Amino acid sequence: MNPILHGTAAFMEHLGLNEEPFGVHYSDIKPENASGPKVGPPISRELEDRGELDIQEVLKGFTCVMGSVWLARKRRGAAFISAEEYGCPGGVYYCSLIKPHLRFLEYYVSNGFEGTPMQGERYMPNPDAMREMLHKVDPREAPAKYCVFKPLSQFTEGEEPEFIIFFVRPEILTGLFTQAVFTTGDVDCVVSPFGAGCTNMISWPLYYKEKGLEKAVIGGFDPSARKFMRVDELTFTVPLSLYKKMLDALPESMFNHDTDWKNVRKKVARSARAWGEEE
């Protein structure tokens, strides 16, 4: 068995986790039978600036990245997004498939467009604040056509995930968080900046990786993404480099010693029973 898969199986057992984590990577090959959006109208800042982008037409084919991942999770398959098959004008930027971002996002995520029915999501106080966030996260140019999310066991020989994504409730998140800190000795190794569901699964992890920082990112606080997550569930995304270290550190961690984790582990089991997700 692949060492990462073997280590992941042991980690899942320690955590009490019964859903395999996903990996995310870039590929020029679209996975078969994958969940994802249909081809949409051409989309770019250049078209937007020239007044040639019909955002209403773009939104007719709206497909959330988190929605595609949710379907992939239920089907135990893959999800994808590309610059042509994008579904969401935010997701296609956050997944590093177009640059620069559409100005539309600055208003849509904040206080909307004056004089129009589109009032905005009101997640940011104004377009300037949203613009600053978009400029900061600034995903790199994608190295391949498709951004692909799929279970770790579906990575074939020669493929390697850039990031590992866990979908968990707070009891299990406790274990992931503590293992990251135990592995690094860094009290700031887990972060949770503002972002859409996909931002915290791919954009912010990329941001820290490009800066040479090993950071795990907690996400799932985007109100628009909650419909595609289980009740009380959050995401925990970790770069492959740090994840391998977390697996290597398991023998000396709290999971293999007489610690308070045993009490948390009982609550993990209670939570699974409460939600009908027994191990």
DSSP character at residue 139:
P
Burial of 236 (C-beta count, 10 Å sphere; 0-12/13-18/19+): buried
Q: By the 8 A CB rule, do 24 and 239 touch?
A: no
Q: By the 8 A CB rule, do 137 and 112 touch?
A: no
Average pLDDT over residues 121-130: 96
The pLDDT tens digits of the residues spanning 184-206 come to 999 999 999 999 999 999 999 99
Tell me: pLDDT of 115 over 90: no
* pLDDT-derived band at 1, boundaries 50, 70, 90: low
Average pLDDT over residues 141-158: 96
Helix 3-15 and helix 240-248, axial crossing angle in degrees, nearest 10: 70
**Domain definitions of the chain by residue range:** 3-22+159-273
The pLDDT tens digits of the residues spanning 8-60 come to 999 999 999 999 999 999 999 999 999 999 999 999 999 999 999 999 999 99
The pTM (predicted TM-score) of the whole model is 0.95
Tell me: pLDDT of 279 over 80: no
Q: In sequence order, what are the residues at sequence separation of 6 or more whose Cβ sits closer than 8 angstroms to the Cβ of residue 124?
A: 109, 110, 130, 133, 194
Q: Which residue has the higher pLDDT, 117 or 45?
A: 45
